[in-house]
Structure 1
C-alpha cells in the first residue's frame, strides 16, 4: 500500500464551446502531471465544455460531442496519471453535470452532481437532473470522494463519502467571483473537514465568461481547517500537492501558498480579466469608447488599456457646444497618460442637421430632454460607425448607479458591446480610480504605472454636459445618498421603511424607487458587464419590465 500520493491541480481557464481547445489544455496539464510523477491530475467542474454553458449544454449534438471529447481524452492519456475532468453525461433521458475519472485508456468512474444550485446566476435545475450520491472512486489505492461544487456546500454528500470510505475529498468547482466570496467558500469547506475529519481540496477554475469571472483561489485543507496550499486568484496555474499517509489518515503537505490581495484590487482585477476574456473569447482585438472627460469613461479607458494594451484602445472625444474646456483637457490628459489613440470628432454639424430635419415636426414645442438625448444618440451613431468601419468593439461606460436609475440614453451612451463598470456604484468608481492611480501590477496590467486619471477628473462635479451648467445632482440625489439607497433597495432588497429608518428621507427613497422600476426596460437592453456583487443587474436580479407595484410603506 502506497504511503504517498501526488495530486496535480490544474486551475485553468476554459472557453465555453471550445471542446477541442479545452481538451488540449487538459492534455497539456496531464503531460505536466506525468512529468512530475503525479498519480492524478484534476481539472475543474464542466471543464470540457467551459462554464457556464447555460442552455447550450442541452443541445444534443453539443453534449454528445463533449462526451466524445472526454472519451478521446481518456484514450490519449492512457499511459500516465489518472485525470479528473468535469463534463456532461447522459443516462437514460437525463442530462447530468458529471465528473469523469480517466485512467488506463478508459473512463473508470463517473460522479454525478447531486445538489443543483438554482439561485443568483445559476439555473442548474433547468439544465440537469439530480445525480444519486455515490461512494468514492479509487486511484492507485487511494479512495477519493468528489462532491461537485454545490455538493460540498451541504453536509450530506461529504458525510456519505466519508461513511463509504473516502480518504481525501476533491471538490471540483466552477465558482464565479463576487466581492469577499473567498471567505464564504473557506468557511463552508472548513465545516466539511471538521465534520468528516478528511483533508479537502477545493479546486476552482479561472477566466471570464460573459458577466461572470471565475477567480480561482484553489486551496487545500487538512482536518485542522487551515489552508496548507493556497493558489493565486485569477491566474491560471498548475500546482502539485503531496499527500502522506499518517496514523491519522492522509494529510496534505505544505505546498504553494499565495496571499490574496484586498477587495479593491480583486474588484479591479476582475473587471480587467472580464474584458480581456470577453474580447479574446468573442474574437475582438481592439476597442473604442467615447472619452468625455468624466470619471466613468476615464476608468473604462484605463481598464481597457490594462486589459488589452493601450495600442488596442481608441478614445474618441465628441464635443458639443456644452462641452467645457476642462472636459476637453481632462479627456486628452487621460488618453495621453494611457498612451491610447485619441480622436476628436465634434458633433456640432451633425446635431444642426438633425435639428433642421426635425424642426417642422417640433415646431411650437419647447426644448427639453429630447434635444439633450439627440446629442447622446448622435454620439452613439458616430461611435458605432467607427466600430463597424474598423472592427473595434464599442465599450459603454455607465456605472451601476446610472444603470439602476436609468440616468443614461438608450441607443445613445448605452450603445456598446460590453460595460466594464456595470456593477460598480459611482462611489466605488471614485475609489477604484484612486486605487488605480496609486497601484500598478505589471504582471497583469498592460497600461503604464502612475496617475492615469487626473485629480480634476475625480474631484469635479459629475455632469453629462448636455445643457449649460448641467450637473448630475440636478436630476439625482448626491451620489453617496443615491448609492446608499440603491445598496438597500437593490443589493439588500430592503423596504422603503428600512431605508427611512436608516436615515434617508422618504422623498429621496421614493424618487429612487420610482426611477429604479421604470428603468427596467433599459437594463433589459443594456450591454453585459462583469459581476462584482451578489446582486448585479442581469441574472442576479430578474424583475418584470411591465410592473405596477410600488412599496407604499
Structure 2
C-alpha cells in the first residue's frame, strides 16, 4: 500500500475551497500511485474553526462537500481512499454536540472512522467548548493490493500522552495504549499542531515512543499555514517501528510525499529528512504567518514605520520575504529627538530591501498638539505625556496611510516591550498584526545576526531576499536600543538590561513561575518585584494589542487569559 501525506494549507471555514484543495492533493497523489491519502486534523474546516462550528448552515455545507468529494473520486479516482478531518454532528439538544472526527471518503461513499479522544483545553486550544470526546480507540481495516491492513487512527492530542517527554499531559485515557490489543500495522495521526520552537524534535520523540509501544510505523500529518495568530509549520513525517525517520515533509510550506510501509529503509536518515536549523524555522514561521494573515484577510500590500531600530528592521525583512518588496511601503517619521544616524540607517535598510519610503517629519504636528492641549493642561504636555504623544502622532499617520492605500499595518513591537508595557496604546501598538510580539528582544538580536550571517544565505535565496551583503546591517544590530522620544534616551533608562529582563520574563510567562520562586532561586528581590509588577500592570495594554503571531510556548494572545483587575 502506498500512502500520500498531504500537508495542506486550508482557509478556516472555507469548506468548499478546502474540499477542492484536498481533491487537488488527491489528484497529485493518484498520479504517484497512492492508495490512501491522509490529510490533517479538521482539514475540511481548517484549524481552529472556533465558533464557526456553531453555525448549523456550515454543518449542512459540510455534508454537501463530502458528497461532492465522493462523486469526484468515483468519477476520476475510483481506486483511491481519503482520510479527511471533519466535525461530526451528534444530534440532540445538548451542547457540545459535535465530535472532532475523521471520515473515510471513497468512491462508494463516506463514513466516520475515528473520533478524537483527548480534547485539549489549554494554551490556545478550547476544544471542549465544541466537541465531545470519542469513547473508543479507532481501528480501520482497509484492503489494498491484496493485503488487509489494520490502521490505528488518532487525532493530534491523542499522540501527546508521554508525560516524561512533554513535562505534562492532558488528563484522560491513553489512546496509544488502547490500540495495543488490536496489533495495528500502522498508527496514523492527523494533526493541527502549531509551530513552536523545539517542537519538531518533541513530535519526533512522541512518535518514536508510540512506534516502539505498538511495534509499527507511525505516520504524522500536520497542517501548514497561518490562521489568525497561529502558525502551523507542517513538517509531517513517518517513523519506522524501530524509530528511524523514514520520510520528512517540508517546514512552513505545502507539501505532499508518498511512502510505502514494509520496505526496509536504507541506513541513516532519508535524503529529504533535513529540516532547517531552529533560527531558520523561526524566521520561516514568521514569514508564513505574515503572508497568510495578509492573504487570508484580503490584503496584498503592507505598511510599517521604520525607525532605524532593530525591531522595525526585522519586521521589514519579514514583510519583504512574505509579500515582496514591491508590496511593502515604509514611513519614516523623525522628531526633533530622532538622531540623524537613525534616519540614515532606516533609509539604508530600505535601500537594501528595495522598499519605497516616505519621510513625514512630525515636529510641526508635535507643536500643534502642544498648542491645542495647553489650555486644558495649563501648560504644554511634558514628560511621559509628551513622549506618548509622539508615538500616537506616528500611529495616527500610519493608520491614515494604511486606510487610504488599503494596506495591512504591521506593528513592530517585540515581546519584551509588550510584556512590561514599554509601548504606547494608539501609538506604536497600532496595527493589524503584531509580527514579532512573541519574540523577546534578545531573540530579535539573535535572529537579526543570523539573517546577516552566511548561514542564512540559502534561506534568503529561497525567499527572494537579497543574497549579497547584510540585510539588517551592523549599524542597526549594534546600536543601543532607544525609543528616541527625548534627548539621549535609552531603553535601559526605564527597563533592566534586556539580558537581565528576558530570562525573568521567560520564567514568569513561559514557565508560569512566581516572583517568590525567582527570589528563592537567587534573583534580586527588588528586580523580581519590579518586573513582576510591570508585567501585571501592562495587562490592559495587551488586551488592546493587535493579534500576535504565536511562535513560543506562551504568547500574549488567545493562550494568555489573565484578568486586568486582579490582586
How far apart, in 2, do the equivalents of 1:547 and 1:497 lie? 18
Superposition deviation, residue 161 in structure 1: 3.0
TM-score (norm: length of structure 2): 0.92
Spell out, residue by residue over 1:64-101, the C-alpha distance to the aligned partner (whole angstroms, 9 max, x if none): 31232123212211213100110111022321111010
What pairs with 1:401-412 in structure 2 (closer than 5 Å)?
A: 401-412=416-427
Assess if the C-alpha contact under 8 Å between 1:43 and 1:86 holds in 2: yes
Assess if the C-alpha contact under 8 Å between 2:310 and 2:477 holds in 1: yes
How far apart, in 2, do the equivalents of 1:81 and 1:358 lie? 71
How far apart, in 1, do the equivalents of 2:254 and 2:484 lie? 43
Residue correspondences, number:
541
Residue from 302, 305, 308 that aligns with 1:290: 305
How far apart, in 1, do the equivalents of 2:110 and 2:499 lie? 56
Superposition deviation, residue 104 in structure 1: 2.1
Taking a change above 3 Å as real, the CA distance of residues 442 and 470 of structure 1, as seen in their structure-2 partners, is closer
| Equivalent residue, structure 1, for 2:58 | 62
How far apart, in 1, do the equivalents of 2:482 and 2:33 lie? 61
Spell out, residue by residue over 1:331-380, the C-alpha distance to the aligned partner (whole angstroms, 9 max, x if none): 11111111001110011111211111111111157721111111110111
Assess if the C-alpha contact under 8 Å between 1:406 and 1:516 holds in 2: yes
Superposition deviation, residue 244 in structure 1: 2.9
| Equivalent residue, structure 1, for 2:491 | 472
What pairs with 1:39-438 in structure 2 (closer than 5 Å)?
A: 39-78=35-74, 79-93=78-92, 94-140=97-143, 141-154=148-161, 156-244=174-262, 257-364=272-379, 367-438=382-453
Superposition deviation, residue 507 in structure 1: 1.5
Residue from 523, 547, 559 that aligns with 1:528: 547
Taking a change above 3 Å as real, the CA distance of residues 494 and 279 of structure 1, as seen in their structure-2 partners, is same
Superposition deviation, residue 541 in structure 1: 2.1
How far apart, in 1, do the equivalents of 2:178 and 2:481 lie? 57
Moved more, 261-270 or 360-369: 360-369
Gaps of 5+ in 2: 162-172
Superposition deviation, residue 146 in structure 1: 1.0
Aligned-partner SS, 1:292: coil
Aligned-partner SS, 2:475: helix
How far apart, in 2, do the equivalents of 1:8 and 1:543 lie? 42
How far apart, in 1, do the equivalents of 2:524 and 2:194 lie? 36
1:454 partnered with 2:473: yes
Assess if the C-alpha contact under 8 Å between 1:319 and 1:346 holds in 2: yes
Aligned-partner SS, 2:141: strand
How far apart, in 2, do the equivalents of 1:81 and 1:473 lie? 62
Aligned-partner SS, 2:261: strand
Moved more, 538-547 or 323-332: 538-547
Taking a change above 3 Å as real, the CA distance of residues 505 and 442 of structure 1, as seen in their structure-2 partners, is closer
| Equivalent residue, structure 1, for 2:165 | none
How far apart, in 2, do the equivalents of 1:356 and 1:143 lie? 78
Moved more, 100-109 or 149-158: 149-158
How far apart, in 1, do the equivalents of 2:269 and 2:477 lie? 45
Superposition deviation, residue 418 in structure 1: 0.6
1:511 partnered with 2:530: yes
Gaps of 5+ in 1: 549-553
How far apart, in 2, do the equivalents of 1:493 and 1:245 lie? 46
Aligned-partner SS, 2:393: helix
How far apart, in 1, do the equivalents of 2:209 and 2:278 lie? 24
1:493 partnered with 2:512: yes
| Equivalent residue, structure 2, for 1:551 | none
How far apart, in 1, do the equivalents of 2:241 and 2:85 lie? 26
Superposition deviation, residue 109 in structure 1: 4.1
Structure 1: 4+ residue segments shifted above 6 A: 253-256
What pairs with 1:534-549 in structure 2 (closer than 5 Å)?
A: 534-548=553-567
Superposition deviation, residue 162 in structure 1: 3.9
Moved more, 256-265 or 367-376: 256-265
Superposition deviation, residue 475 in structure 1: 0.5
Superposition deviation, residue 289 in structure 1: 0.7
